[in-house]
Structure 1
Amino acid sequence: MLDQKQTDIPGRGPGAGVQAPLPHPTGGSDFARLSKLIKDSGLMGRRPVYYAVRMSLILVLYVGGWGAFLLVGDSWWTLALAAFLAVVFGQVALVAHDVGHRQVFRRSRASAVTGRIAGNLGIGMGYGWWQDKHSRHHANPNHEDLDPDVVPDIFVWTQAQARKATGPARVIGRLQAFLFFPMLTLEGFNLHVAGVRALADRSLKQRRTEGALLFGHFALYLAALFTVLPPGKAVLFLVVHQCLFGVYLGSIFAPNHKGMPTFTGTDRPDFLRRQVLTSRNVRGGRLVDTALGGLNYQIEHHLFPSMPSPNLRRAQLIVHRYCEELGVLYLQTGLVESYRQALTSLHRAGAPLRQAG
């Protein structure tokens, strides 16, 4: 059932600037009518110039970061470059995300090749593993039985999960709201390990190519660190870089669904409500859009995953007004408030574990 008790969701309701009603198409489901409005607005069209510029800039930053690393050499200043490259790696991950959703290329082959180069070779993330996991998340967001992102492996997301928790989740779940951001320092390492483990799955497409690119990344990465830096500094660079990379990635994805209602069993509303009720938008300007890669428009992204990310800002106005007219709850918050809501929900979910002693 819908787990409304696991989250406080303040801030829902009307937004600023809602004016005349939208011209609703007739016939079809609620989502079909919204989809027609979006398509008629031209927001599903490709943005080749935008992505050419964005991907070129990120490539320049990526190459420039590693070039600066080689030039600086054996110096403590390389730790500043580790922090810089953590952000660049996060931006590469966001490009891989958009490519995986077919936002950039029409052809699946071009998407797959670019995704593997960016993911596997660029940042050491198994693209095939991620795409399978992320597709299942999009199909059933916050469904405890179907969404791999709410599996209670380390954290518990509802009190029902807490009562059944075993292993690490039973220990960590007691203080998980306080441990959430510190635990994100391990997320970069987790992505690498998960990508390698996925290579054992024979159903993984292009498994040999994925493996070659993934281990190619590891070899080049470690060779650069231990050739340029003495062992101690190399290890410190690796820790700083990977931990900050993990925190940045987690900070991008944490506001999207954490602390939102969850589903269980056969409780699955229609597509529009399934996506809107479980997602949270984050308000902000162009800086927030860039830092979060457009995923601050999470509701619109979940409704139209193949929509190019620069179009989401305009789509948000249409979707928000449409949801208001339907009476579908639609949540927008500031960035800090989104983290507060997520952490509050985590703390509440772990209550049965604290009560158990």
Structure 2
Amino acid sequence: MKKILVIEDDPIIIRYIAEFLKEEGFDVYTAEDGVQGIQVAIDIIPDLIICDISMPKKDGYEVCKTLQSIPSTCTVPFIFLTAKAHIDDLRLGMQTGADDYLTKPFEFSELIRSINLRLEKHERFVKQSDERFFALIDNPMIGVYIYQENKFIYSNSMITEILGYSKDELKHFSFEDLVCKKEDEELVKIIRCIKGIHGFVHTDVEMYKKNQSITAVEIFGTKIKFKGRNCLMGNMLVVNSKRRELPESKYSKNIKLSRDETLTLQLICKGLTSIEISEKLLISAKAIEARRAKLLLKTDSKNTADLVMFAIRNRFIEL
């Protein structure tokens, strides 16, 4: 069920909109002013926001601008409601980041049409972003996984090679299923990290492969948020006679980034190209390439995949 947040200071309008959307099958949340609306949006991460412009405490423009600056809410579709119909108001709304603009009074059929259109467009964007993100973190030399709700929701080709299972098969397995029982103490370390008791885990375990043979692997993992829920993201390496070490230290350095560097890093992690980032930040693609090069040097990253792992492990992004 899609979550829709309605931010509107008129109690009659907000009640009618909420009742209509509930009848249409949406999970509806409401807020009576801009400040409350921002807090609710951060708490629930809605699928779409409907917001009045003229409100106390913070108007709709301020709400939209604030939520656009927060990684977890910056891509949520935003529809403005207003009694203003002047072209300058429309332009300001779109410049702020709104996806649509409905003038009061409006027909509910018009509202639902706009909602469905924005949700469909956003779903396509999310799918494309996921594909870009997974392409960024897929390293052919290192196993990469995302573990959520006791299953591997993502595993790259190296992990399938290590364990012998396909990506779809691994979605039905937990660490408890695959780690040998004699490694219980090491398994506890992984579980504690998943539960948030520890922020990072690094351990060696023996795991069962699909052919029932046993392989020794080195596990790295960091607790992050993926699509608003806690998960463990990390790497898996085969332990052999000449032990390969993941450069853990470079990922966990206390490196300070400027606001511009942080914003650029966050957009890189969304899979945007330099041209797409330049269009979003209104600066040249050449300047973005310079920032990217500086970020690689500053974080001691060899490529974009390294840069993404640095951002995740140091909490620069929330997935």
More relative contact order in 1 or in 2 (CA 8 Å, sep 6+)? 1
TM-score tier after normalising by the smaller chain length? under 0.3
Structure ranking higher in strand proportion? 2
Structure ranking higher in helix proportion? 1
TM-score under structure 2 length normalisation: 0.26
TM-score under structure 1 length normalisation: 0.24
